[in-house]
Structure 1
């Protein structure tokens, strides 16, 4: 039986999640389903000193140097097995600013070797990030990034901590609002806050027969 990558990572903690969070994070490729959501980011903020690295990341759908308030966005999570046979979940996020749509994409796998989830940021899977995932006291899911590795052709290396962005992610279900809430904060050990957004959204599981081509990464990386 194929379990979701989050069930594998959380083990017994998965039962502590809110039922709606379990639904959003509990499906796998065998279910032939996707979680499709839309909502509003109440605030998106970035550090002005980080414009250049964020602009470079934006070219590969990794964050972006743009901020604002009340920004509509969509989120698409598809489950499938990649060409290496690994259970995979997509994170396709689109932020609809007045004059442009910004993307923040990722694909996550559960690494048996590392015994944790590995997050490939961007649309070419050249940046692999270890994720520590726990159940929060409010029934939400908490994610904190760890070691980050760069893969491009024969080139591969682990970033020193001073050059990384540490991500703190919290997603939970608000029973009063009847919506999911999300908060993402990225910081650097030396320079402080880099990027932050928070908002709310509605999401539903839908059935599907195939994964849309534009939801797949342009390149799949075997190295974890």
Structure 2
């Protein structure tokens, strides 16, 4: 069985995660992860950014809607790319009534740099370096260098145009749920997108 790229990236730190987070991120082709939950709050940035978010809807990357208590589903599936590289596909769906909004990504591992390579959107429109770390039993994800993806062309973005994400995920034993917080910030604008909430696995571990 292939070891999850997340597990490979974290190395020995993987064992410091809460046991339920270890199970959640030990993703393989034989063991996808699927969950259902509610985002207590989904927030956006300045209204003048909304046209860009409408544009992102077509790429399953960001969306203009925001609100509270939004139903949410997530599915992580391991696969192999054209060159045989190990990948994890992220399908995140936010249900705004009849509308389904996506925030999808495809991740692989750069073993030399020990960086998760994150292609956002379908087809990909953005690229970001990701660093995974364990903090007090929880998982933290930080994004760094970003590029605009235009087919086969990838254009490095200056910091003033980047939207850097900070993701924290923990397991709440009392409630028996995974808790997540995502904040995407631009150094000039401030927060441009974010959500926080909880979910439970559709599988019984």
Pair 1:191 & 2:195 matched:
no
Structure 2 contact 78–87 (Cα < 8 Å) conserved: yes
Q: 1:34 touches 1:205 (CA, 8 Å); kept in 2? A: no
Shift of the 153–72 alpha-carbon distance from structure 1 to 2, 3 Å rule, reads closer
TM-score (norm 2): 0.94
Give yes or no for the alignment of 1:155 onto 2:153. yes
CA contact (8 A) 1:79 1:88 kept: yes
Decide whether the 8 Å contact of 2:38 with 2:198 is kept in 1.
Answer: yes
Q: Aligned-residue CA RMSD in angstroms? A: 1.5
Give the alignment of 1:71-220 within 5 angstroms.
Answer: 71-137=70-136, 139-205=137-203
Shift of 1:154: 4.4
1:42-91 Cα distance to aligned partner (Å, 9 max, x none): 01111123212222222101111110111101000111112221111111
Structure 1 unaligned regions, length at least 5: 207-224
Q: Is there any run of 5+ residues in structure 2 with no aligned partner, and where?
A: none
Q: Which residue of 1 aligns with 2:26?
A: 26
Q: Residue 24 of structure 2 aligns to a residue in which SS?
A: helix
Measure, in 2, the Cα distance between the counterparts of 1:77 and 1:157.
27
Offset of 1:162 from its aligned partner? Answer: 0.5
Does 1:10 pair with 2:10? Answer: yes
Answer whether contact 2:53 2:62 (CA < 8 A) is retained.
yes
Segments of 4+ moved more than 4 angstroms: none
Paired residue secondary structure (1:57): helix
Aligned to 1:65: 64
TM-score by length of structure 1 reads 0.86
1:28–1:87 Cα contact (<8 Å) kept: no
Query: Aligned to 2:12, what secondary structure does the other structure show?
Result: helix
Does the alignment pair 1:41 with 2:15?
no
Task: Return the alpha-carbon distance in structure 1 between the equivalents of residues 61 and 101 of structure 2.
Answer: 9
Q: How many residue pairs align between the two structures?
A: 203
